[in-house]
Amino acid sequence: MSRLLFIALPLLVLASIPLYLLVLKSPPPMPKLDLEEWWGPPELKQKQDTSIKPFEITFSETMVKELKERIKKRRPFAPPLEGVGFKYGFNSKQLDSWLKYWAEEYPFAERQKFLNQYPHFKTNIQGLNIHFMRITPKVPKDVEIVPLLLLHGWPGSVREFYEAIPHLTAVSKDRNFALEIIAPSLPGYGFSDAAVRPGLAAAEVAVIFKNLMARLGYKQYYVQGGDWGALIGSAMATFFPKEIIGFHSNMALTLSPAATFLEFVGALFPSLIVEPELANRLYPLSEKYSTLLEELGYMHIQATKPDTVGIGLTDSPAGLLAYILEKFSTWTNPDFRSKEDGGLSYRWTKDQLIDNLMLYWSTKSIVTSMRLYAESFSSRHFDLKLDEIQVQVPTWVLQAKYELAYQPPCILKLKYPKLVNASVIEDGGHFLSFELPEIFAKDVLKAIGEFRKLKNVKTEL
């Protein structure tokens, strides 16, 4: 009898862990959101301008001249160690060709025109002038226009969507709808104002974008996001299931205790958690964690000392280029760390990547962009325990081969019980819309088609 107890007792204790995490644990309460929280200077509160103003991106002559001078006057950079490729970070041997191009060949006037090919606007939400692009397709009578909010991340920008937008907004005989795109710059990024006081984390950005879409007259809409856009989109879907009728993410991740528990279970019994051909995207866990440790230094410093590291990045275009392009290298394919050129020409032209840099440089927004990490990794934001609150909105995930982290559907369903589909592709990395715009757009359209079938709802404009 006692022997039975000796075996049964620890088993019972062990079994109680999943029972608690997966079944008994009650979700945290929905956070109380202040939908009118003010992020701008207090003086402006009484005279808020709620109009929607057209906006044009300008690369002023002074800015361009100064940029070129700074690039030309750069200090000599430490030569890389022998044979290391990009393993110690951006290989300085590559800097000269990039900087020379930026200063001498990048056609500023042309690119300014390129960036203005879509209509841009600004409107003041909760004290911040929020920049966004709005692209409305021309449609025949029987095609419904359906709004899609596209959310970028770090170190990206609205530029990531430029190649995908024509595909997203295309009218096709295969579907009875066409997408109207609303693509804002996150607060503190690009042409959107930054908060003047602490507290603007992912949850608060979700509120800002909810208010933005309300300002633009949308009662119901879809949301797509990657990187911070995925986290913000997820927060929006968590808080506002009435307004968000479908959520598409290309970086789906949930970090709840239950999710971690299942990951550990799968370390012992992978077949319980993940399909065999996808197991290597998650296992062995030791490899996954050592890769994350290797790659998350930037996140660690930005979550704790953004203002420190941001000063050099504000002041030096070479510094900004190295810091940002390192991500476009490593996050597209981790094997690029062994390449001397970081594989940067694999999918993008120099113009494309420098366009994105210009949105950080010309707006001086690198520091404010990095503060989002400090805000969202604060104990206040963590205590909201957003990962443990389920999303009651139909969700669709697109999972690229080289995305930074992978979770199979059974884990994602902990957070997204209405997971409609997980598109797994054998190509692509973190900046998916930028890297594979057609595949990206196709998947988003497919998702929305399915969302519409599920709800069969007419979106009111």
Q: Applying CB under 8 A, does 76 fall inside the site for other proteins?
A: yes
Biggest CA–CA distance in the chain, Å, is 87
Instruction: Spot the catalytic one: 162, 221, 323, 373.
Output: 373
Report helix, strand or coil for 135. strand
Which residue type occupies 192? Answer: S
Our CB check for other proteins shows the closer of 283 and 298 to be 298
Site string for other proteins, 363-382 (x = CB under 8 A): -xx-xx--x--x--------
Burial class (CB in 10 A: 0-12, 13-18, 19+), 153: buried
Minimum distance of other proteins from residue 81's CB (angstroms): 5
Instruction: Spot the catalytic one: 106, 152, 221, 227.
Output: 227
Known active-site residue 289: no
Instruction: Spot the catalytic one: 167, 248, 381, 430.
Output: 430
Q: Is the separation of the CB atoms in 194 and 187 below 8 Å? A: yes
Q: Applying CB under 8 A, does 454 fall inside the site for other proteins?
A: no
- Give the binding-site size for other proteins (rule: CB under 8 A): 59
Cα dihedral value 80, 85, 87, 89, nearest 10: 60
Known active-site residue 430: yes
Q: Is the separation of the CB atoms in 179 and 169 below 8 Å? A: yes
Report helix, strand or coil for 7. helix
Tokens standing for residue 407: 């979770």
Q: What is the DSSP string of 63-74?
A: HHHHHHHHHHTP
Which residue type occupies 274? Answer: V
Binding other proteins (rule: CB under 8 A), the pick from 149, 168, 178, 195 is 195
Tokens standing for residue 67: 């940029």
Known active-site residue 174: no
Our CB check for other proteins shows the closer of 10 and 107 to be 10
Our CB check for other proteins shows the closer of 88 and 109 to be 88
Residues 288-307 that bind other proteins (CB under 8 A): 293-298, 300-307
Question: Which residue(s) pair with 399 in the sheet?
Answer: 424
Binding other proteins (rule: CB under 8 A), the pick from 21, 91, 331, 348 is 91
Q: Is the separation of the CB atoms in 165 and 118 below 8 Å? A: yes
Site string for other proteins, 307-326 (x = CB under 8 A): xxxxxxxxxx-xxxxxx--x
Give 299's Cβ-side CA count (13 Å radius).
Answer: 13
Residues 128-187 that bind other proteins (CB under 8 A): none
Binding other proteins (rule: CB under 8 A), the pick from 89, 241, 257, 449 is 89
Contact residues for other proteins (CB under 8 A)?
73-84, 88-92, 95, 194-198, 293-298, 300-316, 318-323, 326, 364-365, 367-368, 371, 374
**Hey, which residues are catalytic here?**
227, 373, 430
